[in-house]
Amino acid sequence: DITMAGLDVTHQFLVTPDRIEQVGGMGAPFTDMITDLFRFFSKNYISRHDVIRGAALHDPLAVLALTHPDLFEAVDRHVAVETSGRHTTGMTVIDRRDISDRETPNVHVLERVDDAAAWDLVIEALVAANARSTASGPQP
């Protein structure tokens, strides 16, 4: 089985300024480093897009799609990767037509994410990581 988390979905899960400050407020070396990474990544993302409030968290979202599928709305569709188009090489083509003679679905396509619940899980993971790093003491 294949599950697709396209950019249309990963761009629903953003590390925004308020979320960066939330992580920064944790005040531990690990989350201080994550805060710096989030700031850098967000600044870069915002500078390269016309309209976006922060950086998309692509990889964490893909993991959450596997570990917490209940956070997502999805539909089975036929998906193909364009390999020969002059302007579209490498793009995915999702058949969203509502006609009966379309090709058989071959991919579970994520369409929406509960971004607040997903963010809560990221915070939970960061709290746990901070606890582990504090319990293990200073690293050489």
Distance CA 111, CA 104 (A): 18
Q: Please choose, from the candidates 84, 87, 106, 85, the residue with its C-alpha nearest in 3D space to the C-alpha of residue 95.
A: 106
Can 49 be counted among the known catalytic residues?
A: no
Residues in the chain: 140
DSSP state of 115: H
String of DSSP letters for 31-44: HHHHHHHHHHHHHH
Q: Determine which one of 11, 49, 58, 87 is catalytic.
A: 58
Catalytic residues, by residue number, are 58
